[in-house]
């Protein structure tokens, strides 16, 4: 990401606020677009991203007085056309509609939940309502689940995706939901066969969330889906791989077998480091040579044990190669960079280690020093 880039400023700014005001001005009698813009901008810039969503929703509430049944027709009239129904992926919509979802949540979750859910189904066709739907699952669980049972058949893939994404156990930025891990699985039984990657990716992400708590619950479901053959094999293989990515990184044998990799396979592994030390801000070269007596599919990762403050260590797994050994030695080369300016993971000087994982098992390891 480029230095100085600000996601919050890209998504929520004066131009976006003006666009939203321009939608509501012709639809809502007496709506003062200039005043709305001024009121939003008066408090927007010091706020972080999620707080900006809440702030814009609060200001919108000030400019749209009245109960939800009164303002709902005006809100619907203000919306632009739904996102292109001809697409099948990567059409998340415009973040500026997230505050509209928060407005509907605040105005209707307690007084008019059924109408509010109707509005969220419309809004999610302009921008995903995955955050706004979650409080409804906590306050009106039966009503919301019943509505989701209808939505899995909805003609808009955005509404269908909302069922999977909105019920995820670990949705980024999302409120926790009081659902058992297995509660949404009947929805996923239907949605895993969806014709759009946007939906099946959400299903895979949902299962990856579950796998962090109950791997076998996920693997049981994936095996059942493979047996019933409702999804095209190529798409189901992709879904299984994406859903099991966390389990593969952790070397979970059952997940590896489901993907066609034998954790017990005999593979010789030779690891050669290009140097005995690397600098923070620099890189380390290494080569891995693999050999097996017969044709064998392999998934090769490497795990770095990083030195941490106070003598502790932290491990991170990185992808190296998915390939097939064909009876001859295969050498893979890698340059691993140690970014000294990363904001999410601070590097510390000290003794580090690289382990080569083949089908989830450690095949070779070597130590090196990271220096400032």
Question: How many Å apart are CA 233 and CA 228, to the nearest integer?
Answer: 11
pLDDT at 2: 43
pLDDT at 8: 93
pLDDT at 4: 60
pTM (predicted TM-score): 0.90
Which segments of the chain does DSSP mark as H helices, in order?
A: 7-11, 14-24, 33-44, 49-63, 68-78, 98-108, 113-123, 134-139, 141-151, 157-166, 185-191, 197-211, 215-228, 233-243, 245-249, 253-258
For 320, list phi and psi in degrees, rounded to 5: -120, -60
pLDDT at 1: 40
Extents of the domains making up the chain: 66-258, 268-371
Q: Identify the burial level of 115 via C-beta atoms within 10 angstroms of its C-beta, where 0-12 means exposed, 13-18 middle and 19 or more buried.
A: middle
Tell me the CATH number for domain 66-258.
Answer: 1.25.40.290
Residue 82 in contact with residue 94, Cβ under 8 Å?
no
pLDDT at 300: 97
Query: Under CATH, which architecture does the 268-371 domain have?
Result: Sandwich (2.60)
Below-70 pLDDT ranges, the chain: 1-4
pLDDT at 327: 81
């Amino acid at each position: 990401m480029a230095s100085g880039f600000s996601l919050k400023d890209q998504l929520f700014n004066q131009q976006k606020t003006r666009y939203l005001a321009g939608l509501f001005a012709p639809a809502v009698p007496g709506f003062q677009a200039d005043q709305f813009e001024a009121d939003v901008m008066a408090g927007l810039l010091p706020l972080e991203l999620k707080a900006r969503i809440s702030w814009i929703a609060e200001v919108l509430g000030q400019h749209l007085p009245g109960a939800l049944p009164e303002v709902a027709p005006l809100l619907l009239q203000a919306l632009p056309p739904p996102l292109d129904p001809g697409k099948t992926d990567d059409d998340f919509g415009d973040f500026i509609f997230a505050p509209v979802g928060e407005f509907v949540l605040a105005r209707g979750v307690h007084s008019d939940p059924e109408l509010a859910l109707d509005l969220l189904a419309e809004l999610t066709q302009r921008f995903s309502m995955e955050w706004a739907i979650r409080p409804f699952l906590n306050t009106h669980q039966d009503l919301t689940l019943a509505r989701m049972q209808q939505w899995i058949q909805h003609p808009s893939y955005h509404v269908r995706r909302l069922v999977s994404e909105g019920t995820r156990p670990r949705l980024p930025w999302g409120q926790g939901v009081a659902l058992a891990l297995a509660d949404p699985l009947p929805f996923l039984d239907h949605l895993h066969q969806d014709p759009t990657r946007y939906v099946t990716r959400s299903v895979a992400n949902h299962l990856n969330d579950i796998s962090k708590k109950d791997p076998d619950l996920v693997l049981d479901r994936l095996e059942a889906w493979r047996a019933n053959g409702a999804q095209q094999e190529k798409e189901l293989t992709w879904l299984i791989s994406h859903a099991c990515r966390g389990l593969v990184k952790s070397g979970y044998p059952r997940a590896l077998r489901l993907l066609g990799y034998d954790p017990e396979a005999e593979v010789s592994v030779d690891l050669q480091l290009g140097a005995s030390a690397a600098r923070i801000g620099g890189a380390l070269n290494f080569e891995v040579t693999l050999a097996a007596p017969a044709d064998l599919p392999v998934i090769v990762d490497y795990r770095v044990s990083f030195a941490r403050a106070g003598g502790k260590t932290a491990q991170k797994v990185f992808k190296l190669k998915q390939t097939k050994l064909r009876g001859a030695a295969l050498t893979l080369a890698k340059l691993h960079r140690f970014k000294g300016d990363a904001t999410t993971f601070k590097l510390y000087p000290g003794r580090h280690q690289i382990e080569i994982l083949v089908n989830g098992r450690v095949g070779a390891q070597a130590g090196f020093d990271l220096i400032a």
